[in-house]
Structure 1
Amino acid sequence: MSSTLSISVRLHEGWYHGSGGPPSPARLFQALVAGAGISGPLACETVESLEWLEKQPPPIVASPHTTPQKRYVNYVPNNDLDAKQGDHRRLGDIRVKKEIAPLVFDPTIPFLFAWKLEDEAAVESAKTVTRLADRVYQLGRCIDMAWAWSEILTEEELQERLGEYPGAINYPAAGTGDVDCPTPGSLSSLMQRYQAGAHQFDTTADGKGQTFRQRPKPRWTKVCYEGTASRFVLDLRRSEDAGFAPWPLERASALVEVIRDAAAERLRHAMQHRIAEIDRILVGRKPDGENAGPTSARVRIIPLASIGHPQADMQVRRILVEVPGECSLRADDIAWAVSGLSLDHPVLQDRIDLTRSDEESQLGFYGVNKPSRIWRSVTPVALPDAKRRRIDPDRVKTDEKEKKGGHEKFAEYERASFAVGQALRHANVAARVSSIRLQREPFDPRGVRVEQFAEGTRFSKHCLWHVELEFESLVRGPMLIGDGRFLGLGLMRPLKRAAGVYAFSIESGLQSSPDPIRLSKAMRRAVMARTRDVIGPSRLPSYFSGHPEDGSSGRTEKPHLAFAFDPLEGHLMVIAPGQLDKRNAGSDAENAMTLEQALEELDQLRAGEDGFLQLRPVVVDATCHHLFQASRVWESITPYDVNHHARKSTAESVLTRDVLSECERRGLPRPKVSVLQWNAVSKSGLQGWLRLEFKDAIPGLIILGRSRHTGGGLFSPVKEHRVTDRKQSES
């Protein structure tokens, strides 16, 4: 049975003056070291237990709900006493202001840190840490006096304690975060920092002054934490026969407002002593209309349109209510407030009821537990800073100046793109955006234009946009962005579309003369290994390996991934079958999602002789990338390997016949072939560098030959005047 090391900390007063939000695991580790060392040097047993603790994975962190207080200024001396010739009597001349913003919380609720223990040896090490917790005397700045206690809990006891905890619970998550946590070397860095304090002020050589030395900073690692949100689904049912009562998508904001106000009124009657808190959590403002409270603590009421099938009508039949972990109201109270509400339907002219539902399969269509890189808006995004100029329909017929020119349209889209970036930041979406697409028309055939959503809302139709986003990394749902995200606007859904080409720029580590095929094979091995980590012990699909289930050599034409190295750009590419073969234009959504998860956070590649590569994901824009441009003339940039070796023929004729057959097999027109160079390679066969001249311009990507899945046969477009100049020089 797995166990957990739990350390609880209570502050004497309900104030915390540390920086960076609630106390981090690094702050607790620092407090354990300070408590253990207050009576002298650390014992060997203490050092061993703390070194064991710094090697553990980041803990679960639970903290009471905090409220930021008004900032105040404290004037302290800076580290520039040398400017005053080391005279301590002149400290007043170098004082600088330091802003402090304490957090206020309920002092009866302890901060909780929980580390999972894997085996009995870990339990024994944790027992020493439990004794160290008894010596904690402060947490944060020296004015935050505290005490702590530690326990070894079973998994059941931990879950019971977390279930009853009246605060926010955060779990370590994938990605780069901003929470400091101990890491191997943290204890050593703290000890070095303490020892450096003895030499912080050294006397100068002439004995008349002192010099100041900055102490080394402690060593921590940055970890991403995610809170646990409680979610529950409600059905819109007719009161008469309990059938679904579909709500028009364009009236989604009105539906959210009605549910929100009715739930808030029900809670006000039941909790009259918490009216201000209810208004802050549900409505987002005080009774006088002033905004209040952090948006991360607000309840989200999300209208779920029916999607996921070509014939889905995109009307609202279900509501998702999401209660964040930072919310000070219990999720059970919110669920009681919204369940059983009776509303007026705007179309049916009848009463409808909100009933609790256990059907949560629809959440997958909105990215819940199914991350994606590409997202599209279901309801338009409200961007007040990106309003479009209204065109008078009567004047535009007679006044040419009323029409919008290209420059004005470009400026509108540029402002809207910037506003989208701001909206993502406000919604705490940290992933970098690689492309933004904006329009007024819906992306879905059964969607609704932006103008119809503005009716009855505080948003102008000129600030509503349908948005499609592509991120450099996977993003989880549900995602709502924009100023209307608490009113049902800005709801996004993941797009089940493989990007087709996943490219990685080689930042460093590449040898001077890399082998494209060897690099591509190294990338293939890495992708298959990472895919195995994603899918577990099940058999690796042929989509990734190219081999049938029995593991034999792949002799069939079943589509599978290809890997290539572009020597002109210095990019390693993973290519989906639809981009490689014109006959296999269909997509495999399930394998594509698995591939995206396998490629997430891929930043290193061990490529043997070609070096230890540092990678960075880049987005391939098919509209401007040289491998995807349309051209009549294409030339090899990696060697073409023949599929069949003919006897009693010259190398040029073998290469020509083989590539013509390959073009026909891959759905390409018949080109004129010129052999630029050929070579016979041991254990590989005949290779050649070719020029293909088509009658009409052909768009890329063109990869041909026997080694086309492992980096061979990659062609690049060539300008026709360069070909003419080359032919003249050869003649």
Structure 2
Amino acid sequence: MPTDAQALVIEILLHDDRWHGDGEWPPSPFRLFQALVAAAARGARLEQEDRQALEWLEALEPPTIATPRHVRSSRAVQAYVPNNDLDAVDGDPDLVERIRAPKRIQPRLLSNPPHFLYVWRFTSENNECMPSRRLVQIAHRLYQFGRGIDMAWARAHVLALDEAEDMLRRHPGSVHSPCANGNGRLSVPVRGSLRSLERRFDQFRSRLMRVQDGRRMQIHFRQPSKPVRRTVSYACPPHRLLYDIRMMEQPERFAPVMQREIAPLVKRLRDLAAARLREAGVQEVCIERYLVGRGADAQDKKRRVRIIPLPSIGHEFAGGGIRRVLVEVPQDSPLDNEDTRWAFEGLSWGEKVDPETGELTGGHILVESADTRMLRNYGIERQDGTIHWQTVTPAALPVHRRGKAGSNRLSTEKRAIKAVQTALRHADVRARPVRIRVQREPFDRNSRMAGDYDPDRFETHELWHVEIVFDAPVSGPLIIGNGRYLGMGLMAPCPPSDAYVLPLEGEGVPERCTPAFVEAARRAMIATASHLFGDPVEPFFHGHEENS
């Protein structure tokens, strides 16, 4: 880390514990930038020092955002208000009912205090004129953040980077960071954003123009130009706790669980951890909703603790036994991360007591692991993501097979593919699937036939192995289907292929010319190899044995 690394930290506190901004969460950096421009402006004028500070800010990389915990209001209110267009009725207040428009209001209820952090990183080299100090003064003038009723105040600091990172760690809510493959898409300012907002402000003031048309006076409306901004991916990764499954009497050795028992294993671990939390006095409603899953609604599911047994993969002889368990605690979960860590650490089951010695024999125990290398086999902690995925454990899809005829099988598979598309939406996967394949047979030798798994509450014929190719990279873990909270539908990236797909320029090759084209391409490849590597050309290129 550079010794001159610094951070501009802007803290925003709302006067009320609700936020009415619509269409995004967390509030985007561009929304804050607009609020700062409004705070700095004196009517239609910006002072030169304020302008320089805001132009400096728009050139920085996107900030890290910390937000308070929230639960979206379960009931929306429809209000009918004047559409701020009195000129459309010739300025007559008595005709205001003609321009009323519906406005949907559904605030996010926030935990106290409603406290936001925005952290921009920079070095002293690009802060020669100290515009960050001016931004501290601008932030003190901020009065609104969200809609007009979201009154707020702010304070700003210029800190050493490690101090800013410490503020993010101590924040009680969720931390959202810019990344390549995040699920969230937020608007951020770029060079030119300030000038575009000024231009839009001027155009808005003159958007209505009176034009004489004979004896009639007409009002023409001109749409103001859109502000300049760009969209950036943001991610809010959960707290991840990794545990090894070890032998009770020999903790240095693994005690793998059969892959087909993945659903009963999740239920066992979940119930044991829930019992520990109850004994510790954690609220029953939190345990039931956010760990067990009973009574959880659609909003609660995003904040549930997820238990993911990880079969051993990555090598053809890995065996597929379950040697590790990953526990994910969402950042905004009401269950505390450290409480959850304590609840799972040292869980034991399956032990037996020797009747002669009274010693424990057999059994399994969870031991927290610091070795996270194998998580990459499931696309976890990989920044680049991947587009090609296959299930390790079959996904539970609400599809029932109708008959054994070939036409019935094709119809069932089509409905299964549609169910996969729905499952991806439920799993909050934003990338679009361009190819989906379903089957009963496993894709990897470390997996099992779909019908071999303990189906728990699902029917055996509802279990399907799935292969998906996306149009954009996706990061793991990727779990789909109705059994995703029981370890079913766990997917892994496919290993890279040795095949290369090369685009053809122009109109392509007619089908009747394909054999001649392939032969010409083969000869060209052999000639290129001969030129680059000399004679004789390796059999890899021409495909013949050396003595032929």
Give the Cα–Cα distance (whole angstroms) in 1 for the partners of residues 517 and 117 of structure 2: 66
Deviation for aligned residue 1:496: 1.2
Are 2:367 and 1:355 aligned? yes
Structure 2 residue ranges without an equivalent (≥5):
353-359, 529-535
Deviation for aligned residue 1:155: 1.8
1:197 aligned residue? 204
Structure 1 residues 89 and 628 mapped into 2: Cα distance closer, same or farther (>3 Å)? farther
Find the residue that maps to 1:458 and give its secondary structure: coil
1:486 aligned residue? 485
Q: Are 2:256 and 2:322, in contact at CA under 8 Å, matched by a contact in 1?
A: yes
2:269 aligned residue? 259
Alignment of 1:456-495 (within 5 A): 457-495=456-494
Find the residue that maps to 1:416 and give its secondary structure: helix
1:715 aligned residue? none
Find the residue that maps to 2:241 and give its secondary structure: strand
2:153 aligned residue? 147
Q: Once structures 1 and 2 are overlaid, which stretch shifts more, 15-24 or 236-245?
A: 236-245
Give the Cα–Cα distance (whole angstroms) in 2 for the partners of residues 71 and 476 of structure 1: 33
Structure 1 residues 334 and 24 mapped into 2: Cα distance closer, same or farther (>3 Å)? same
Find the residue that maps to 1:293 and give its secondary structure: helix
Are 2:309 and 1:303 aligned? yes
Q: Are 1:230 and 1:325, in contact at CA under 8 Å, matched by a contact in 2?
A: yes
Considering only aligned residues, what root-mean-square deviation do their CA atoms show, in Å? 3.2
2:390 aligned residue? 376
Equivalent of residue 78 in structure 2, options 59, 73, 78: 73
Structure 1 residues 313 and 634 mapped into 2: Cα distance closer, same or farther (>3 Å)? closer
Are 2:233 and 1:224 aligned? yes
2:51 aligned residue? 47
Structure 1 residues 84 and 639 mapped into 2: Cα distance closer, same or farther (>3 Å)? farther
Find the residue that maps to 1:170 and give its secondary structure: strand
2:177 aligned residue? 171
What code does the residue aligned with 1:375 have? W
Q: Are 1:256 and 1:302, in contact at CA under 8 Å, matched by a contact in 2?
A: yes
What code does the residue aligned with 1:221 have? R
Alignment of 1:712-731 (within 5 A): none
What code does the residue aligned with 1:178 have? R
Find the residue that maps to 1:93 and give its secondary structure: helix
Structure 1 residues 499 and 119 mapped into 2: Cα distance closer, same or farther (>3 Å)? farther
Larger Rg: 1
Deviation for aligned residue 1:122: 2.0
Deviation for aligned residue 1:172: 0.6
Are 2:98 and 1:93 aligned? yes
Find the residue that maps to 2:147 and give its secondary structure: coil
Structure 1 residues 627 and 236 mapped into 2: Cα distance closer, same or farther (>3 Å)? farther
Give the Cα–Cα distance (whole angstroms) in 2 for the partners of residues 80 and 13 of structure 1: 29
2:532 aligned residue? none
1:685 aligned residue? none
Are 2:339 and 1:338 aligned? no
What code does the residue aligned with 2:437 have? R
What code does the residue aligned with 1:451 have? G
Deviation for aligned residue 1:309: 2.2
Are 2:513 and 1:666 aligned? no
Q: Are 1:79 and 1:212, in contact at CA under 8 Å, matched by a contact in 2?
A: no
Give the Cα–Cα distance (whole angstroms) in 2 for the partners of residues 82 and 34 of structure 1: 25
Deviation for aligned residue 1:222: 1.1
Structure 1 residues 326 and 665 mapped into 2: Cα distance closer, same or farther (>3 Å)? closer
2:356 aligned residue? none
Are 2:109 and 1:104 aligned? yes
Deviation for aligned residue 1:333: 1.6
The C-alpha deviation readout for 1:139-171, integer Å capped at 9, x for no partner, is 011100000011111121122111111111011
Give the Cα–Cα distance (whole angstroms) in 1 for the partners of residues 491 and 341 of structure 2: 24
The C-alpha deviation readout for 1:191-231, integer Å capped at 9, x for no partner, is 12222232234344257564444333322211110113221
The C-alpha deviation readout for 1:526-551, integer Å capped at 9, x for no partner, is xxxxxxxxxxxxxxxxxxxxxxxxxx
Structure 1 residues 404 and 85 mapped into 2: Cα distance closer, same or farther (>3 Å)? farther
Find the residue that maps to 2:287 and give its secondary structure: helix
Q: Once structures 1 and 2 are overlaid, which stretch shifts more, 434-443 or 127-136?
A: 434-443
- Aligned pair count reads 520
Structure 1 residues 342 and 668 mapped into 2: Cα distance closer, same or farther (>3 Å)? closer
Structure 1 residues 145 and 308 mapped into 2: Cα distance closer, same or farther (>3 Å)? same
Deviation for aligned residue 1:417: 1.4
Bigger relative contact order, structure 1 or 2 (CA pairs below 8 A, ≥6 apart): 2
Give the Cα–Cα distance (whole angstroms) in 1 for the partners of residues 25 and 97 of structure 2: 30
Give the Cα–Cα distance (whole angstroms) in 2 for the partners of residues 209 and 369 of structure 1: 61
Deviation for aligned residue 1:495: 1.6
What code does the residue aligned with 2:14 have? L
Find the residue that maps to 2:299 and give its secondary structure: coil
What code does the residue aligned with 1:381 have? A
Give the Cα–Cα distance (whole angstroms) in 2 for the partners of residues 76 and 427 of structure 1: 37
Deviation for aligned residue 1:131: 1.0
1:619 aligned residue? none
Give the TM-score normalised by the residue count of structure 1: 0.66
2:506 aligned residue? 567
What code does the residue aligned with 2:425 have? R
Alignment of 1:586-605 (within 5 A): none
Deviation for aligned residue 1:39: 5.4
The C-alpha deviation readout for 1:85-135, integer Å capped at 9, x for no partner, is 775533313423221210011242410000111234426121111111000
Q: Are 1:82 and 1:211, in contact at CA under 8 Å, matched by a contact in 2?
A: no
Are 2:450 and 1:450 aligned? yes
What code does the residue aligned with 2:230 have? T
Q: Are 1:86 and 1:211, in contact at CA under 8 Å, matched by a contact in 2?
A: no
Deviation for aligned residue 1:82: 8.3
Find the residue that maps to 1:484 and give its secondary structure: coil
Give the Cα–Cα distance (whole angstroms) in 1 for the partners of residues 193 and 471 of structure 2: 32
Q: Are 1:86 and 1:209, in contact at CA under 8 Å, matched by a contact in 2?
A: no
What code does the residue aligned with 1:92 have? E
Q: Are 1:10 and 1:107, in contact at CA under 8 Å, matched by a contact in 2?
A: no
What code does the residue aligned with 2:63 have? P
Find the residue that maps to 2:119 and give its secondary structure: strand
Q: Are 2:526 and 2:542, in contact at CA under 8 Å, matched by a contact in 1?
A: no
The C-alpha deviation readout for 1:433-474, integer Å capped at 9, x for no partner, is 23222110112224221123243x121112210012223333
Structure 1 residues 426 and 499 mapped into 2: Cα distance closer, same or farther (>3 Å)? farther
Q: Once structures 1 and 2 are overlaid, which stretch shifts more, 50-59 or 112-121?
A: 112-121
1:162 aligned residue? 168
Alignment of 1:7-86 (within 5 A): 7-19=10-22, 20-38=24-42, 41-69=45-73, 70-78=75-83
1:118 aligned residue? 123
Give the Cα–Cα distance (whole angstroms) in 1 for the partners of residues 438 and 428 of structure 2: 21
What code does the residue aligned with 1:8 have? E
Deviation for aligned residue 1:501: 2.0
Alignment of 1:546-695 (within 5 A): 565-569=504-508, 631=515, 636=520, 643=527, 666-668=541-543
Deviation for aligned residue 1:378: 0.8
Give the Cα–Cα distance (whole angstroms) in 2 for the partners of residues 107 and 380 of structure 1: 42
What code does the residue aligned with 1:492 have? M
Q: Once structures 1 and 2 are overlaid, which stretch shifts more, 31-40 or 144-153?
A: 31-40
What code does the residue aligned with 1:380 have? P
Deviation for aligned residue 1:10: 0.2
Q: Are 1:237 and 1:244, in contact at CA under 8 Å, matched by a contact in 2?
A: yes
Give the Cα–Cα distance (whole angstroms) in 2 for the partners of residues 463 and 343 of structure 1: 29
Give the Cα–Cα distance (whole angstroms) in 1 for the partners of residues 454 and 250 of structure 2: 32
Find the residue that maps to 2:542 and give its secondary structure: coil
Deviation for aligned residue 1:68: 0.4
Give the Cα–Cα distance (whole angstroms) in 1 for the partners of residues 369 and 280 of structure 2: 24
Give the Cα–Cα distance (whole angstroms) in 2 for the partners of residues 178 and 59 of structure 1: 13
Structure 1 residues 343 and 191 mapped into 2: Cα distance closer, same or farther (>3 Å)? same
Give the Cα–Cα distance (whole angstroms) in 1 for the partners of residues 196 and 517 of structure 2: 61
1:599 aligned residue? none
Find the residue that maps to 1:501 and give its secondary structure: coil
What code does the residue aligned with 1:6 have? V
What code does the residue aligned with 1:234 have? Y
Structure 1 residues 643 and 215 mapped into 2: Cα distance closer, same or farther (>3 Å)? closer
1:133 aligned residue? 139
Give the Cα–Cα distance (whole angstroms) in 2 for the partners of residues 143 and 214 of structure 1: 25
Deviation for aligned residue 1:306: 1.5
Give the Cα–Cα distance (whole angstroms) in 1 for the partners of residues 445 and 538 of structure 2: 36
1:238 aligned residue? 247
Structure 1 residues 454 and 638 mapped into 2: Cα distance closer, same or farther (>3 Å)? closer
1:247 aligned residue? 257
Are 2:330 and 1:324 aligned? yes
